[in-house]
Amino acid sequence: MSEHKRGFETLAVHAGASPDPATGARATPIYQTTSFVFDDADHAASLFNLQVPGFIYSRLTNPTVSVLEERVAALEGGRGATATASGHSAQILALFPLMGPGDEVIASTKLYGGSINQMGHSYKKFGWKAVFVDPDDPKNIERAVTPKTKAVFIEGLANPGGVVVDIAGIADVTHKAGVPLLIDNTLASPFLCRPIEHGADIVIHSTTKFLSGNGTSIGGVVVDSGKFDWFQNDKFPSLSKPAPEYHGLCFAETFGDLAYTIYGHAIGLRDLGPSQSPFNAWVTLLGIETLPLRMERHVANTMKVVQYLEKHPAVAWVSYAGLPSSKYHANAKRYLPKGAGSVFTFGLKGGYQAGVQLVESCELFSHLANIGDTRSLIIHPASTTHRQLTEEQQKAAGAGPDVVRLSIGIESVDDIIADLERGLGAASGRKAAE
């Protein structure tokens, strides 16, 4: 019988899951347990030696979490995945097999403010150096490559400014340099963009956002394409050389295109410990089942909102790659053909104080530090998520003093616009029309 390639919507519901063999339960159970019983001493030894697949301890692997990993890998077109406790821990875990003291990662200047802080400051404690460059031109990345470069880290659709990078152009640069391209695909989700198809080697998500979609469960995931050749140079000894942690086992030789994923569990989760809880994985699986439906509504609502804001007298500019006026519109049409997401920024003519006034005046929009919820969310980055950065860094990240970020939800779009009209009226000193 010929193999039928299942559609995205089908994979979102079924990938990685099957009826529970013990009970017949159709929905994936929550395996809320720390440990798993071994059949006998030989079985235990085989598990600890990585000779057979199975479950030992939920810090390493867990049946509920494994379903999530398989599902996200399938949606991204990847070979394997490692779920983590948060998006930030996913970034650490993604780089852990690649980096050593003194090594460099080239990172986009257009990242979420927390990522800039993590990479610019906390990475130094590992002896890692983040070299920040503007990703708009792949040649900027090419110029930044040194013998110490071990990876390039980019947000495909950047938070908060709606920047869409040339993934294929950057992939050409990284592959010429012999290092993997890591793409954070959180804002787009695999429904809107599949970076591996354009040359990305590793994809990262904060599952907290669009994948779960409900604002209840923190998590992250690292997806490996399985396509990067770890033997092509001597830059990645953790994967291509004998591992002292496992009596000289070579991950790339033993596990082939699953080497990076196996390392992420066997050493990354084992030693760093940022495992995702079974309950959070279960909630996220429920969210992923409706991801295609939600993303279609998110994008449709967002287009109407940005068109409204473009014409509003209190708004100086709108940064959304789905608009023909955006400098990133061509990239968006290429890499996000189903829509440019639902997170974007705009600038207020009243500057910083107007931004603060707006977020305090909205009623339907929730003022909080999250995105990708079914609810519409608003934040003023300069006074919150990006406040630890200098004004120069804020502007480079697309989060200057006048900037407001919106994450458009799936409510009735007329209600979303009415709430903004009321808030913008208050921010500009006008009374919104009743």
- Given a cut of 60, whether residue 2 has pLDDT beyond it is no
> Is domain 8-98+180-287 given the CATH code 3.20.20.70 in the classification?
no
b/e 147-166 (16+ beta carbons within 10 angstroms → b): eebbbbbbbbbbbbbbbbbb
Q: What is the per-residue pLDDT for 433?
A: 42
Has this prediction a pTM greater than 0.85? yes
Per-residue pLDDT band for 424 (boundaries 50, 70, 90) equals very high
Mean pLDDT of 102-119: 93
Helix (H) or strand (E) holding 306: helix 291-310
Mean pLDDT of 211-221: 96
- What 3-state DSSP class applies to 345? strand
Per-residue pLDDT band for 85 (boundaries 50, 70, 90) equals very high
pLDDT in tens, 399-411: 788 999 999 999 9
Per-residue pLDDT band for 432 (boundaries 50, 70, 90) equals very low
Checking 3-11 for CB contacts under 8 A at 24+ apart, the result is: 8/75, 8/190, 8/191, 8/292, 9/292, 11/71, 11/74, 11/75
Classify domain 291-427 by CATH number: 3.90.1150.10
Per-residue pLDDT band for 1 (boundaries 50, 70, 90) equals very low
Helix (H) or strand (E) holding 141: helix 138-144
Residue 131 near residue 104 (C-beta atoms within 8 A): yes
Every domain of the chain and the residues it spans: 8-98+180-287, 291-427
- Given a cut of 50, whether residue 251 has pLDDT beyond it is yes
pLDDT in tens, 280-327: 999 999 999 999 999 999 999 999 999 999 999 999 999 999 999 999
